[in-house]
Amino acid sequence: MSDPTPRARPLIWVNCAISIDGRLAFARGTRARLSGPQDLARVQRLRAESDAIVVGSGTVALDDPSLAVHWEAIGRTVGRPPTRIVLDSKGSLPEGARVFDGSSPTLVATLESNRRTYPPYVERLVVGSDRVDLARLWGILYERGMRRILVEGGARVIASVVASRTFDRLTVYVAPVLIGQETSPPMVAGPAARGFEELARLRLLGVERLDDGYVASYEPSLP
């Protein structure tokens, strides 16, 4: 997807997979593989076309993702890997996480109060004093030549990005399953809107059936 409009930040694309009842994972955040083969290939294409992939420290702790592009799954020659960006405000990333394996450029966005040291090949970037300043982070990435960022979660990161209104596209794969809600994380884990004026409004761009579910695409709707 091209982005002809000049901007002071990259194009921000949020993507996730949920159950019909809006859950990202099983009880207590246990990873749920909700996507089928067609949606997994779609996600790999999104990764391949992105300059960086963003997740939160909670996702790393629970899922231990590699955030790698599986080029063979989309029939493409191995290309430049996207930068892995982890939001880690408290320095809580597990020591042995796969994002620390040195296989791809990795950046940790954190706060001034986080004194933790990371492996020498991992860049530590302070972008806030009380919370990770997403607008500031996007601006720095843009200055470095990054033009397309894929945000993969988890629930708190998605909530922060949506609340900041600094995103351009949201795609959600809805799997044909029900998980339940007692301890399974929702798609968005942030402050609830107290009225219509606080809603994050979206405009539906399209719906496509994939596997036995469907993917819905949205963009922010102007107030």
Using CA atoms, how far apart are residues 23 and 110, in angstroms rounded to an integer? 27
DSSP 45: H
Domain boundaries 11-220, corresponding CATH code: 3.40.430.10
Q: Where are the domains of the chain?
A: 11-220
Q: Which amino acid is at 223?
A: P
pLDDT at 91: 93
Per DSSP bridges, beta strands 213-220 and 122-126 are: unpaired
Ranges of residues in the chain whose predicted pLDDT is under 50: 1-6
Q: Are 90 and 61 in contact (CB under 8 A)?
A: no
How crowded is residue 209: how many other Cβ atoms within 10 Å of its Cβ? 9
Q: Which residues contact 4 (CB under 8 A, 6 or more apart)?
A: none
